[in-house]
A and B are shown apart, each in its own frame.
Chain A
Amino acid sequence: MNLLLRLGSVALLLAAWFAGSHLLGPRLLPAPHAVALAIVDEARSGALAFNLGVTLLRVAASFTIAMALGTVIGLAMGRNSVVNRLADPWLVVLLNLPALVIIVLAYIWAGLTEIAALVAVALNKLPIAIVTVREGARALDPSLDEMAAVFRMSGWVRMRHVTMPQLAPYLAAATRSGLSLVWKIVLIVELLGRPNGVGFEIGTAFQLFDVTRILAYALTFVVVMLAIETFVVQPFERYTSRWRIRAA
């Protein structure tokens, strides 16, 4: 039943796409099979795999930087009120800077380089990661901290077995919202200042008014991100909450 509903919904979307293509003409909205052919063409030439790969690497690198820094800073802010008071104004500034401003400034200050691109994306994701992890750090159970203290658990054991499991739901939330945010910003960064990647290809297609190619790249990338969500993020979440499922 669930599957049927899903399939029905996808079929409806395709039907609407066909109808729209008929109304607007193939130049403004090419039909689904034209886009499918374009995907096959790009895949054959190797350009699709290359650009997807480059973009995915950028997503992975900037996401990792943002999550690692965000976890450290968020934990420090959540557990220490002095650090929190010191860092909070910076956080508010960063939270409210438009993504475009950060990207443009990064390119101006560091040149049109890979580093500038990655830093710009990571800086866009960082404040949200910090806020989420800080929330988690504030909810840490002090009675478990005391337990760890009297049993003289090492810093590493405490982090790995006492603190991190309590943060897991918050990290999962930050990962979810983070991945979708990061890949969108990576495309903008590529459009503005990188010579390759999905964003660059879409930028080129835009200049040539090539809607087929825009859709071909966008759809493939959405599928890739869906696959990551289904085969990486969700299994990881199931693993970290295995004790909850069995307790039910």
Chain B
Amino acid sequence: MLGEISFALANGEVAAVVGPSGCGKTTLLRIIVGLDRDFEGSVVLPAHGRLGVVFQEPRLLPWRTVEDNVRLAAPQAGETMLTALFATLGLSEHRRHYPGELSLGLARRVALARAFAVEPDLLALDEPFVSLDAALVERLRVELIELVSHRPTTTLLITHSIDEAINLADRIFLLSRSPARVIAEVPIERPRGTRSAVELAVIREKLRAAATHQ
């Protein structure tokens, strides 16, 4: 399914992997976090290799509260840190709720909180905003930027949306159709949040051109 792919992330860098649906992005993520072992090659994780993963579906334990879901994944997390994390993600009044009582948007936030609470050496996000409405996606994007800037975290964002990638990432890897390989690597110098519409448009065009000339 995947072709020859090789790339490296710098410490604290946010990278986005963009590609057409069905090109094997999720498989790539599963290989990196160690869930899929049927591949040739090697994955080198940071020294301690603590992982925070946000799957496409929230994958929360329905029988544990929001707070317990986070604490079970991150037993070392302190109260101050959790309080701040829940506040940033707008989850403060939902700590005692069960996942079944939450909307999909809130459940996604809990999944984000869980991944951040482990203070990961690598944060892997698989289409974390898929099937949410546009306004909510925008809010979550802002929250994610806030979290990453608060505690610089090496992050790999898997997405089909070029817009999502250019808003969030320091570097973008563009994948081809299956068998996927990296057809373009686009660094973005200016920090997140200060990028002007013109700059974003230029990058978007660059990526579009690369995608059509593959």
Give chain A's interface residues, CB within 8 Å of chain B. 143-144, 146-147, 149-153, 157, 161-162, 165, 168, 240, 243-244, 246-247
The distance in angstroms between the C-alpha atoms of A74 and B72, with both chains bound, is 26
| CA of A144 to CA of B72, assembled, Å | 13
Once the chains bind, are B64 and A161 in contact (CB under 8 Å)?
yes
- Scan residues 184-205 of chain B and give those whose CB is less than 8 A from a CB of chain A: none
**Complex Cα–Cα for A243 and B99 (A):** 9
Is B210 interfacial (CB 8 A cutoff)?
no
Residues of A within 8 A of B142 (CB): none
- Do residues A162 and B61 form an inter-chain contact, with CB atoms below 8 A? yes
Restricting to B113-136, which residues have a CB under 8 Å from any CB of A? Answer: 114, 118
From A149, A153, A246, give the contact of B72 (CB < 8 A). Answer: A153
Residues of A within 8 A of B35 (CB): 146, 149-150
Residues of B31-62 at the interface with A, using a CB-CB cut-off of 8 Å, are: 33-35, 50-53, 55, 57, 59, 61-62
Cβ of B73 within 8 Å of any chain A Cβ, yes or no, is yes
Q: Which residues of A contact B33 (CB under 8 A)?
A: 150
Q: Which has the most chain B C-beta neighbours within 10 Å: A144, A146, A149, A152?
A: A146
- Taking a contact as CB atoms under 8 Å apart, the answer to whether A246 and B100 are in contact is yes
**Closest CB-CB distance, B39 to chain A, in whole Å?**
16
Q: Which of B84-135 contact A (CB under 8 A)?
A: 98, 100-101, 114, 118
Q: Are B53 and A161 in contact (CB under 8 A)?
A: no
From B34, B50, B72, B74, contact of A161 by CB (8 A): B72
Q: Which of B35, B63, B98 has the most CB of A within 10 A?
A: B63
* Assembled-state Cα–Cα distance A247/B98 (Å): 7
Complex CA gap A152/B68 in Å reads 16
Contact with A along B71-83 (1 / 0, CB 8 A): 0111100000000
Chain B contact residues, CB within 8 Å of chain A? 33-35, 50-53, 55, 57, 59, 61-64, 68, 72-75, 98, 100-101, 114, 118
Q: List 13 A-B contacts (CB under 8 A).
A: A143-B55, A144-B59, A149-B34, A150-B53, A152-B50, A157-B72, A161-B72, A165-B63, A168-B63, A243-B62, A244-B100, A247-B62, A247-B101
* A238 nearest CB across to chain B (Å): 13
**Contact of A143 (CB < 8 Å), options: B59, B73, B118:** B59
Asked if A161 contacts B100 (CB within 8 A), the reply is: no
Beyond A143-B57, A161-B72, whether A151 also contacts B118 by CB under 8 A is: yes
Closest Cβ–Cβ distance, residue B116 to chain A (whole Å): 12
A168 to B62, CA, bound (A): 13
State the Cβ distance, B8 to closest chain A Cβ, in Å.
21
B51 contact from A151, A168, A247, Cβ within 8 A: A151
In this complex, the member of A143, A150, A157, A162 whose beta carbon has the largest number of chain B beta carbons within 10 angstroms is A150
Rounded to whole angstroms, the CA-CA distance of A151 and B118 in the bound complex is 8
**Which among A151, A162, A165, A246 has the greatest number of chain B C-beta atoms within 10 A?**
A151
A161 to B69, CA, bound (A): 9
Q: Which residues of B lie under 8 Å from residue A161 when comparing CB positions?
A: 61, 64, 68, 72
What residues of chain B lie closer than 8 Å to A147, measured between beta carbons?
A: 53, 55, 59, 73
Chain A contacts of B53 at CB under 8 A? 147, 150-151
A246 touches B57 (CB 8 A): no
A151 to B34, CA, bound (A): 11
CB atoms of B114 and A151 under 8 A apart: yes
Residues of B within 8 A of A162 (CB): 61
| B30: min CB distance to chain A, Å | 8
A118 and B132 alpha carbons, distance in the complex (Å):
58
Contacting pair B73 A165 (CB below 8 A): no
User: Separation in Å of the A88 CB from the closest CB of chain B?
Assistant: 29
Residues of B within 8 Å of A151, CB to CB, are 51-53, 73-74, 114, 118
Most buried by A among B34, B64, B73: B73
Rounded to whole angstroms, the CA-CA distance of A143 and B55 in the bound complex is 10
Instruction: Please determine whether B34 and A150 come into contact, CB atoms closer than 8 angstroms.
Output: yes
- Nearest chain B residue, comparing its CB with the CB of A149: B35
Q: Which residues of B contact A165 (CB under 8 A)?
A: 61, 63-64
Q: Closest residue to B30 on the A side, CB-wise?
A: A146
Contacts of B51 in A (CB 8 A): 150-152
Please name the residue on chain A nearest to B36 by beta carbon.
Answer: A146
